[in-house]
Amino acid sequence: MPLITYRKALNDALAEEIIRDENVVIIGEEVAQYNGAYKVTEGLWQRFGDKRVVDAPISEAGFIGMGIGASMLGVRPVMELMFWSFAYVAWDQIINNAGQVRYMSGGLINCPIVIRGPANGGTNVGATHSHTPENFIANTPGLKVVCPATAYDAKGLMKAAIRDNDPVCVMENTLLYGESWEVPEEEYVIPLGVADIKREGTDVSLIAHGRAVITALKAAEILAAEHDINAEVLDLRSIRPLDEEAILNTVRKTHRAVLVDENKPFCGVSAQIAATIQEKAFDDLDAPVQRVCSLDAPAIYSPALENLQLPTVARIIEKVLHIR
Amino acid sequence: MPKLSSPMPSVTDDEVAVDPADYARAEINASLKPKQKIGFFREMIRIRRFEQTSLKYYNQGMMGGFLHLYIGQEAVAVGTVSLMGKNDHVITAYRDHGHALAVGMGMNECMAELFGKATGCSRGKGGSMHFFAPDKNYWGGHGIVGGQTPLGLGLAYGLKYKGLKGCALCFMGDGAVNQGAYHESLNLAALWKLPVVYIIENNKYSMGTTLERSSAMRNCLAERADGYGIVWDIANGEDLYEVRAKTANAMRRAHEQSLPTVLEVDTYRYYGHSVADANAKKYRSPEEIERYKTHHDPISLWKKRLMDEGVLTEAEAEAIDEAAKDEADVAAQFAIDSDSPAPETIFEDVYWEVDNKTEAGSTGRHFFSE
Ligand SMILES: Cc1ncc(C[n+]2csc(CCOP(=O)(O)OP(=O)(O)O)c2C)c(N)n1
Ligand SMILES: [Mg+2]
């Protein structure tokens, strides 16, 4: 299998879907002529032209809302947010319009729109540019949200998101764009709501999504090499819908869970996972559920400190050892 | 070129009688058959009687939430919607009953929605502010002031993308013009040449705030479109002929040139902001309200006009009114007799894929209640 980057995997997914469905149109700031702020859409404008790849002005509420309106008529816009951190200026459009219009119309309307872009800390761009709003999105019934951790997942989930008839938010990661994974040449789609065991283990479950999966995998290797602990790493991939079965299965297998989450702890994704485990797998637990989240303050700029603010391998190992 | 400093049509002077002669001669109006003109009268009366009936039951505590009455503004919805063709679409704010009936939604489904019943147009899930009928090109019914303005733009974008010759009529209040989303929409509409008509229903108040206390302007609100290079116009909303003539121009611009327009329609609401508006008579004088009702009522003026034209008799008008009242009463009874939505429907209409039991909707947990 060829090794391709997370960025290229997304790019391939977009290109394949543009070709597959004439209603797919990519809209966002700098997506066309500039090739994308993070080059995810590189070459697409040259290949597919003005109609399918559209440069938007810096006007997130306007163009995201426009995409939602167009999706009600059957266009399938894939909207790029240069950063998910900028979604807040379009928040009303995303939450109230994309999220609620189906419900309020008694099911008469649906919005097959994708809103995608990076949502991560760790790049020393300060608090305004480092948000991870997957928990906010997941808090809104009507919206879906996925956080791919590898190139393989990014491509498969992006294709599923574009084909989905509900609004799907895809949260990518600038720190992963340049990383490579094996991706098959044949077409594939990864259904939303299906988690993936990224490492089989028996002693403790590390449950994560997005780049936290990569951090958890590194921690698992050290736990095995230095502490004789065989950790299982479950990648949620999709936050809403959520693969609850996979969460409960891994907990029932290892009897210990450490949740690794780049979200903040208060009402973050891991809070929901923890609640689910205690409700449904309490008797299977041999130790309290532990969490390793971003430290609970706005994202700090200082490069020295930001790396400590995000979940680190060391903090994961510490939590695991604490409940071994 | 847009007119730079047209004065607002003045309707504050008691004695100003509207002279609709010119607009009646506009092509779009000159070609009207008597039957159509009577039809507009019927539509306006139906809206008014529907709302008066809904008010009665609201006051009896039979509905929840807000009830924003459109009474006084009927000529705007009826006049504009009367011009819609197959590929023309409508979207509006929460004061949405008038537009809903004008596009042809039935009183039954609308009334039942107000009562929160399963037979409501939105299955009891939207309420007064959220009526929808996509099969009639009617996209709501939106509760967030100005929030519908990018959606209207999106309808226009969708039409253009699909190569359809149509337009989106996006209605909004005079208070909504100060929302950023509206200005972003205007910029995009002009930038991308999208066939959208923003219709500002200027009823002079946003809740209890007068126009003067909310909006900075030179002469009128529509004029702000100048800054975006968008053609704008103003219309007297008490004259159905004028509303139609001006809207037709805007729609033609959208259809023929794929260009946006901002049309500000001067109008007035007789009731409070919503029925729950306890201050309805404090921020404006009873005399002002009376003056509008007496001299500027769009339905009375239209009726007089049709009688002058010899198209309608008093007896016919009476019969139409009676029929509208009866229809509203029947709708209320329908709503009362209808069932509330079943509890399990709470989880319906959230996700298309789940509702349609597709493969994509069958993986993972979608709802997190027990
Ligand atoms: C974003 C937002 N802010 C405030 C409100 C509360 N609110 C509802 S209607 C309204 C007044 C709007 O007035 P206008 O746009 O003139 O419309 P009208 O009610 O006159 O039809 C306000 C303040 C809201 N629904 N949404
Ligand atoms: Mg107003």
Identify whether B141 is preceded by a cis peptide bond (ω within 30 of 0). Answer: yes
pLDDT at B22: 82
**DSSP SS3 for A111:** coil
Please check whether residues A9 and A153 belong to one and the same domain: yes
Tokens at A98, concatenated: 């994309």
pTM, rounded to two decimals: 0.95
Which among B2, B349, B119, B218 has a CA at the least distance from the CA of A141?
Answer: B349
The pLDDT of A184-204, averaged and rounded, is: 98
Q: Is residue A191 part of a domain?
A: no
**Are the CB atoms for B221 and B264 separated by under 8 Å?**
yes
Please check whether residues A311 and A225 belong to one and the same domain: yes
pLDDT band at B282 (very low <50, low <70, confident <90, very high): confident
Q: Is residue A268 part of a domain?
A: yes
pLDDT in tens, B143-186: 999 999 999 999 999 999 999 999 999 999 999 999 999 999 99
The pLDDT of B127-155, averaged and rounded, is: 98
CATH number at residue A66: 3.40.50.970
Please check whether residues A106 and A42 belong to one and the same domain: yes
Sign of torsion, CA A194 A195 A196 A200? negative
**DSSP SS3 for A308:** helix
Q: Is residue A28 part of a domain?
A: yes
Q: Which residues of A touch B124 (CB under 8 A)?
A: 106
CB-ligand 1 contact for B273 (6 Å cutoff): yes
Rounded Cα–Cα distance for residues B156 and B224 (Å): 21
pLDDT in tens, A91-134: 999 999 999 999 999 999 999 999 999 999 999 999 999 999 99
Beta A24-28 vs A53-55: how paired, if at all?
A: parallel
Beta A238-240 vs A144-146: how paired, if at all?
A: antiparallel
Domains of chain B (ranges, CATH numbers): 34-355 (3.40.50.970)
Give the Å distance between the CA of B170 and the centre of ligand 1: 15
> Which of A160, A182, A204 is a domain's end point?
A182
pLDDT in tens, B246-264: 999 999 999 999 999 999 9
Which among A234, A250, A242 has a CA at the least distance from the CA of A285?
Answer: A250
Residue B19 has pLDDT above 60, yes or no: no
Please check whether residues A32 and A178 belong to one and the same domain: yes
pLDDT at B11: 40
Please check whether residues A127 and A203 belong to one and the same domain: no
pLDDT at B21: 58
Q: Which residues of A are catalytic?
A: 60, 129
Which among B201, B241, B237, B207 has a CA at the least distance from the CA of B221?
Answer: B201
- Asked whether the beta carbons of residue B364 and residue A243 sit closer than 8 angstroms, the reply is yes
Please check whether residues A129 and A247 belong to one and the same domain: no
The residue segments making up the domain with residue A287 are 196-322
Please check whether residues A138 and A271 belong to one and the same domain: no
pLDDT at B279: 77
Sole residue written with tokens 């997941």: A138
pLDDT at B5: 41
Residue B370 has pLDDT above 90, yes or no: no
How far apart are the CA of B170 and the nearest CA of chain A, in angstroms?
11
Which backbone phi and psi does A73 adopt, to 5 degrees? -90, 5
pLDDT at B13: 42
Output b/e per residue, A242-257; b: 16+ Cβ within 10 A. Answer: bbbebbbbbbebbbbb
Q: Is residue A188 part of a domain?
A: no
Tokens at B6, concatenated: 């047209």
The pLDDT of A310-324, averaged and rounded, is: 97
The pLDDT of B23-28, averaged and rounded, is: 94
Which atom of ligand 1 is nearest the CA belonging to B269? 20
Which atom of ligand 1 is nearest the CA belonging to B146? 1
Residue B17 has pLDDT above 70, yes or no: no
**Are the CB atoms for B236 and B11 separated by under 8 Å?**
yes
CATH number at residue A279: 3.40.50.920
Q: What is the ipTM of this complex?
A: 0.95
Residue A14 has pLDDT above 60, yes or no: yes
CB-ligand 1 contact for B173 (6 Å cutoff): yes
pLDDT at A48: 98
Please check whether residues A246 and A124 belong to one and the same domain: no
Give the Å distance between the CA of B182 and the centre of ligand 1: 13
> Which of A182, A213, A244 is a domain's end point?
A182
Interface size between A and B, measured as CB pairs under 8 A: 192
Q: Is residue A36 part of a domain?
A: yes
pLDDT in tens, A132-185: 999 999 999 999 999 999 999 999 999 999 999 999 999 999 999 999 999 999
**Are the CB atoms for A243 and B365 separated by under 8 Å?**
yes
Q: Is residue A116 part of a domain?
A: yes
Please check whether residues A214 and A159 belong to one and the same domain: no
| Number of independent structural domains in chain A | 2
Please check whether residues A160 and A234 belong to one and the same domain: no
Please check whether residues A160 and A284 belong to one and the same domain: no
Q: Following CA atoms A117, A123, A129, A132 in sequence, which dihedral angle do they give, to the nearest 10 degrees?
A: 60
How far apart are the CA of A38 and the nearest CA of chain B, in angstroms?
24
Please check whether residues A142 and A226 belong to one and the same domain: no
> Which of A149, A182, A215 is a domain's end point?
A182
Q: Is residue A73 part of a domain?
A: yes
Q: Is residue A187 part of a domain?
A: no
